[in-house]
Amino acid sequence: MRPGGEGHLTETPTDQRKGELSPDGRTRVKIVIPDDHSMVSLLGSRDELLHVIEGAFGADIHVRGNEITVTGTPEETALVANLFDELTRLLASGAELAADVVERSAAMLRRKSGARPADVLTLDILSARGRTIRPKTLNQKRYVDAIDKHTIVFSIGPAGTGKTYLAMAKAVKALQAKEFNRIILTRPAVEAGERLGFLPGTLYEKIDPYLRPLYDALHDMIDPDSIPKLTAAGTIEIAPLAYMRGRAMPLETPVLTPEGFRPIGSLAVGDLVIGSNGEPTPVIGVYPQGEKDIYRLTTQDGASTLCSGDHLWAVTTRDDRRRGKPLRVLETREMIGDLRANCHRYELPLHSAPVCFPHRPVPVDPYALGLLLGDGCLTAPGTPSFAAGDVELALELQVRLPGIDVRPRGGPDYVLSQGTSPWQGRLLVQNPVTAAVRQLGLYGTRSTTTFVPELYLHNSAEVRLAVLQGLLDTDGGPVAQRGRTCRIQYTTVSPRLRDDVIFLVRSLGGVAYTRVRPALGRTPGRAHGHPVHHRHDAYIIDVRLPAGVEPFRLSRKREEYRAEGGGGRPVRFIESIEPEGKAEAVCISVAAADSLYTTEDFLLTHNTLNDSFIILDEAQNTSPEQMKMFLTRLGFGSKIVVTGDITQVDLPAGQLSGLRLVQEILDGVEDVYFSRLTSHDVVRHKLVGDIVDAYDRYDARRASGADAERLPGGRPRRAGNRAR
């Protein structure tokens, strides 16, 4: 068969003659190598490769010119002929032959795996820094193929089988092909244990020795000068498993649920929280983290929340947005000291749709309630009233308050009287508006104490928007800005109503900035020609609502708002990150596609690993709890490769290895693959494979009781850690 041609595994290059019987009864096969192949490349300098082949098979091999004659048993001659065929195919593909290539090809053929060595050894994974990385054994090729086909791959085998190195090559290749946004490399630093704090140097200097193998592999595949930049940008993260898990928030940090805000420490698996699309999403993992260093992250619109230093945030920069790049995920501490570069650097995402609270029936039309909160009088013991300069608003009240007559009383004032007699027989029936106001707890409130009832705050988006529109139509309005889109401004003297308006705006996907206009020192207003001094501080709220959310129903305000180009795009930037001491913290993961959930002040935060290629190395040193935590952090669009050697467990005595247990738990789970490598897949010095085999034989003898429980010379064995 010609080089590169198709055929059965036992076929050899064209011009091979059929086997003949030699005088001593053995089979003789003559192979003719095509002229376009160099015999030196095939046999090696000074016949080095020929000697390797002779040592691997029980056959005599003689070379004359481009003819190779093989004499031996039928089985051995067939294997040698197939080996030369495979080596010829390798040369035709541009590969260079070396002793280890010949040895691995011979081993594959002898094991009769059905795979062609030329197909295995020509699978290029990555070409970097002048070298090509490819699998060197059949099991390695199956391992590499499994990474392409499965979301989670476990690679279990002895040291030197290329478990981590091949996974790293696949990760770098996928990052270059833009299949993933980042690479996350982690391993447990079990050897350090509690003694880590006594090592000299900074935290990263302490843990560096345990991560060094990952750095070394990475340096083989990526320009070393670019690694710090990729690390700083969050494209590559290398961290011990114990520190990687600590993306947490203090137990009392509010998290938004369909019923309102709840402390994150009270959440359990199966509870619903609000995602970035405003929809409920279930909690799929809760992981207590113990005491953590806590920071307060504050945005430029005044929103803030508490989180750990390694809590994750999905952010974008101005350059990211201009280039159409997706959100990047950074830790809190990564952004400290890097929040500004002539402008705010990191922008947080906002809700893509209004938050979905369940609809609840209300006693008063929500738009009418917003008008009454703005310009109504609900304090007098008599008939409630309304004051507005726009007749349009009075007409709206007439339509939306059944059984009520909105009668003008002179100027901007209107009386909200009952449409029928308040007497039913001898009973005086209460004004429906007054009855509803009492029910909502608003009766007797004044301009400084009024508020939006909880029933309206935690209601459907339609109800919340209608209340906000009523408030803005009375005490708010559009503010045109030269060269910019129109913003919305609202004023109140009630601190509680200020907070409620901000809640409404944020729950609809907008942002609200607030400031105080002190009463002291303000120029007094005038009424009937007389000065009227301000008695209360005023709270000014500047509002930006997303496109599609109409802030006004009053015609003149709505038309002015639209004429000025609407409200533009709401934005929320990180303003500051300040330490807040220590606190007990917990980490949750959610089922949302983007892994975002809503925390305090409607901030969106991130807590799993999306669009990432994640490698967990030395996984035999994870506990079952750590393994579960790690696997359940898997985000959408991500891939996990877990590598380890279950014969080299460094966990404390009696501690079960998470890598051992996970094989029983996930066996048979779809899209999870277990690749098991052996001593035949060792790609270091060939003596390493022999050592592994020797230890396997020794362990087998111990398991069968063949070895005495005393060492040679009668010395007793010392108890020590065994592989668990």
Instruction: State the DSSP string of 287-347.
Output: EEEEEEEEEEEEETTS-EEEEETT-EEEEB-HHHHHTTPPPEEEEHHHHTT-SBSSSB--B
pTM: 0.65
- CATH code for 366-563? 3.10.28.10
In the structure encoding, which two tokens stand for residue 692, read together? 């592994």
CB 610 within 8 Å of CB 635: yes
For position 482, what pLDDT does the model report? Answer: 78
**What's residue 711's pLDDT?**
45
- Asked whether 9 and 114 are in contact (CB, 8 A), the reply is yes
Domain borders along the chain are 20-122, 142-239+612-681, 248-350+573-606, 366-563
Task: Identify the CATH assignment for 248-350+573-606 out of 3.40.50.720, 2.170.16.10, 3.90.180.10, 3.80.10.10.
Answer: 2.170.16.10
Q: Which residues have CB under 8 Å from 230's CB, separation 6+?
A: 222, 236
Cβ–Cβ under 8 Å, residues 245 and 565: no
pLDDT digits (tens, 9 = 90+) for 321-332: 888 877 777 888
Q: Which residues contact 70 (CB under 8 A, 6 or more apart)?
A: 28, 29, 30, 31, 59, 60, 61, 76, 77, 80, 81
Q: Please report, to the nearest 10 degrees, the dihedral formed by the alpha carbons of residues 697, 699, 703, 704 taken in order.
A: 20
**What is the H or E stretch that residue 717 is in?**
none
Residue-level pLDDT at 432: 85
CA dihedral 547, 550, 551, 556 (to 10 degrees): 120
3-state helix, strand and coil shares in percent for the chain, rounded to the nearest 5: 35, 25, 40
CB 285, CB 268: distance < 8 Å: no
Q: Are strands 67-72 and 27-32 parallel, antiparallel or unpaired?
A: antiparallel
Rounded CA gap, 389 and 384, in Å? Answer: 17
The strands making up 404-410's β-sheet, listed across from edge to edge, are: 376-377, 385-387, 413-418, 404-410
Contact in structure between 543 and 570 (CB atoms under 8 Å): no
Q: Give the C-alpha separation, 582 to 585, whole Å.
A: 9
The C-alpha atoms of residue 703 and residue 398 are separated, in whole angstroms, by 90
Domain 142-239+612-681 falls under CATH 3.40.50.300: yes
pLDDT given for residue 89 in this prediction: 82
CA dihedral angle for residue 49, residue 55, residue 58, residue 63, rounded to 10 degrees? 30
Low-confidence ranges of the chain (pLDDT < 70): 1-25, 35-37, 113-114, 129-130, 189-210, 232-234, 242-247, 380-381, 419-429, 607-610, 635-636, 684-686, 689, 705-724
> What CATH code is assigned to 20-122?
3.30.1370.10
